[in-house]
Structure 1
Amino acid sequence: MVRKRKSGAVLAVADEPMSSNPYICHSCKRCARKRKTRYLPQDIVFQFLSRLPAQLLHDVVRHVCREWSLVIRSPNFIHHHLRNSTGGLIVQDQHSPRNGFYVEMRRGCLEICNFDCGFDGLVWSSCNGLVVFSALNNFNTLYVSNPLTKQKTNLPPYRTRKGDYSALGIALVEASMKYKVVHARGKYFFPNQIAVLTIGLDKVWRHINVKHLLLPNESLVICWPLVTGGYVHWMSEYIVLTLNVETEIVRRFPVPPIPNVRGKYLAMDSHLSFVYNSDECHMDVWQMNSITGEWTLLLSFDSKPLIHTFKGMFPEFSNSVRPLCWLVARKVLVFSDDLDRRCWIAYDVKASLVQLFEFNKDESYHFRAHVNSLVWLK
């Protein structure tokens, strides 16, 4: 039997014996008895599967046949699929973190789906689909997991002193393809030490002292670090500390050259960005070179459609709208109102298009930038 497209083009026909090629998808038993195999070329199958969402591949497609399952589990496919994947957000209810939402932009439209993280803990940082999280009510018990595949591994315990504040990040060293978890801690929100652990290699944490990078009477507030490629950043009103996860060297960089800096630092692919209101109707985006610390003005965009949307939804709106994260780097920003977090807005800064998404206003939500992937540790 030959299946044709409406145009009449033949999909594939073969009258040869069954092949041992692991990428061939065999047809039904009836055709097999006739020693006929209908298949698509290996490269077409590879490219077709790589364009499907990771959740669909894991939940459905890998169960279609053994050959497709082998393709989907191959390291080359996982790496290729990750490179072509778009980012999104994991949104968790802080009181019930296991069942959350995954928000992403596909074909120019917002897609929101229910998402079972597979663990009862809040995601603190994410890299290439892997997340680091702690057990509920026990910050010293740390794990790395892929929330999609539900694979999980324990990290060596990291004991914090009473009164210490902690912040976690996870990043990839591309040269070795090893992942590292970074842990900053300090008294009264001021970091005095950064600890690093290579997943799968280290049994104990290595410590990096950063006190020498701070001037006398200068302190850096411990915030949740922003991970951009192979770099982890901590920011304050006056400086940026940047850790190169490959060399494990921390450098001190200046903030953007803007008078009276007031804005939001956001991770933007492999760059640290800074978004701020240049005037009542415009916002500027600055981008930092993680090697040199040099800041450049990347783009400016009209914020009037965004402000008008918030004013229409919230009559009490008083310019408290803040950017939360990049949903699509350099293109789509997510905003919310500091006074009312029940509604979030995805704003296309180039096309000035607004898309809304809402959650239950009675809940308290925690979010982290994330990309669904099939990546796991070797």
Structure 2
Amino acid sequence: MHSVAVLPPPTRYSALPVVWIEAMDDAATKKNYVSISRTKIKVAGLNSESINPGYCCKRCAKKRKTSCLPQEIVFKILLHFPAQIVHDVMRHVCKEWNFMIRSKSFIYDHLRNSTRGVILENWNEPRHGIYVEMQRGCLEIRRFETGFEHVVGSSCNGLVLGVGFLDRPILFVMNPLTKQRAILPSLVMKGYHRDFSLAFVEASMKYKVVHTHGKTPHGVKTQIAVLTIRVDKVWRHIDIQHISLPAREALMSSPLVTGGYMHWICGTYILTMNVETEFIYQFPIPPLPEYSGRYLPMGCNLSFIHKSSRYTRDVWEMNPETGEWTVLFKFDLEPLSYKFKDLRCKDEEAVIPLGWLAGGEVFLFSCLQRICITYNVRTRETQSFELENYHYEPHSQPHVNSLVWLE
């Protein structure tokens, strides 16, 4: 199993603190965090003693603790804890907290309040990866383990899609944090290309899996099947006859998921699927003279990091409803040129975009496959860490630790 080593921060520029989160010891951690219910806490300028008497659980009600926080305040406090602490510690405090944490309203409020990160996995050893995220200005790195035989192909709201192989392919959805897993209906998978992706339809609060199946090398006879989890018992094929034959080649690529949309990219075409309506639109790529760069999910939209000069990067964003591209901002990597020289690699070959952190404020990229650097495009703060036993560019996937499960 590989590990993560943190490199010394740059001396010429300020650096963000890095925290390596080891597996928590339940007894010790619980002792520290459960004490929150026994202390006076300030929330939005209010002291617990200034709040009208209320009880967060039956145990406190029996003891008539007038300084106990009402459930509404406890609800808001728990939203600010990381999902791992809420799941491993807070839900064990009492039955009332556990009931609150398991409610759909808390789960999705917590999801909306959570910080998105990026999964990094080794192609040669996908069972053990890491999860990188920014928490209150601090770069945190956690172990990420799914037990999958292959790298995570798709992630949505904390759920990941996996394919296992016994006597036949088995497709399942899993929450790596809670370890909950559900097997999906089987589907015959033959051909040149097979790909599965997971997306969320906010209007119906349902999750859908989209399967692209190419019968020929160039996608001419490609089919797309859709399964609404917990609704459909069999896969449904959707009509793609309106897509031009040259554009169908894009379906042979792995899609990028942004919110309720999926994007297949190839050549001069982008095929964008509205997962709610299950209709696929054909859009052009950004209007640029040269296409040196990489497409990355950026929140609910698709972004393109364009290399406009040796150090300058332009960030484009696409409107998934209209296909219109706009330039969001530009950032300069020249302050990192000394690091590129220390690594003895050419600037043109150094920057491999991996994803966005902190809502698109922090750029994560790799150098020489094993060195990862975060760069705050606003403050120019940097930090770096090393991936051991990585001989290729790491596989990256946007992700968020959450309590979400399928109901």
Q: TM-score range by the shorter chain?
A: 0.7 to 0.9
Between Structure 1 and Structure 2, which shows a larger proportion of helix residues?
2
Q: Decide whether aligned partners of structure 1 residues 99 and 201 sit closer, same or farther in structure 2, where only a CA change above 3 A counts.
A: same
State the distance in 1 between where 2:52 and 2:251 align.
69
Q: TM-score, normalised by structure 1?
A: 0.87
**1:363 offset after TM fit, Å?**
6.0
Partner residue in 2 for 1:267 = 297
Kept in 2, the 8 Å contact 1:25–1:68? The answer is no
SS in 1 for 2:84: helix
**1:215 offset after TM fit, Å?**
4.4
Partner residue in 2 for 1:43 = 72
SS in 2 for 1:376: coil
1:195 is aligned, of 209, 213, 225, to 225
**1:275 offset after TM fit, Å?**
0.6
State the distance in 2 between where 1:5 and 1:183 align.
49
Query: Where do residues 124-203 of structure 1 align in structure 2 (5 Å cutoff)?
Result: 124-135=153-164, 140-162=169-191, 164-186=192-214, 187-188=216-217, 190=219, 192-203=222-233
1:357 is aligned, of 385, 392, 406, to 385
Kept in 2, the 8 Å contact 1:121–1:136? The answer is no
Kept in 1, the 8 Å contact 2:175–2:181? The answer is yes
1:289 aligns with 2:322: no
Amino acid at match of 2:223: Q
Query: Where do residues 1-378 of structure 1 align in structure 2 (5 Å cutoff)?
Result: 11-12=48-49, 23-24=56-57, 26-27=59-60, 36=65, 38-117=67-146, 120-135=149-164, 140-162=169-191, 164-186=192-214, 187-188=216-217, 190=219, 192-210=222-240, 212-215=242-245, 219-220=249-250, 222-312=252-342, 314-320=343-349, 321-337=351-367, 340-362=368-390, 365-378=394-407
Structure 2: any 5+ residue segments left out of the alignment? 1-37
Alignment identity in percent?
A: 47
**1:25 offset after TM fit, Å?**
6.8
Kept in 2, the 8 Å contact 1:15–1:36? The answer is no
**1:40 offset after TM fit, Å?**
0.6
State the distance in 2 between where 1:88 and 1:316 align.
27
Kept in 2, the 8 Å contact 1:283–1:300? The answer is yes
**1:123 offset after TM fit, Å?**
1.4
SS in 2 for 1:58: helix
Kept in 2, the 8 Å contact 1:285–1:298? The answer is yes
**1:157 offset after TM fit, Å?**
1.6
Which stretch of structure 1 is more off in the superposition, 321-330 or 223-232?
A: 321-330
State the distance in 1 between where 2:264 and 2:402 align.
26
State the distance in 1 between where 2:331 and 2:52 align.
59
State the distance in 2 between where 1:196 and 1:5 align.
48
State the distance in 1 between where 2:178 and 2:130 align.
16
Which fold has the larger relative contact order, with Cα–Cα distance below 8 Å and residues 6 or more apart in sequence? 2
SS in 1 for 2:252: coil
Q: Decide whether aligned partners of structure 1 residues 50 and 251 sit closer, same or farther in structure 2, where only a CA change above 3 A counts.
A: same
Alpha-carbon RMSD: 2.8
Partner residue in 1 for 2:35 = none
Q: TM-score, normalised by structure 2?
A: 0.81
Amino acid at match of 1:254: P
**1:280 offset after TM fit, Å?**
1.6
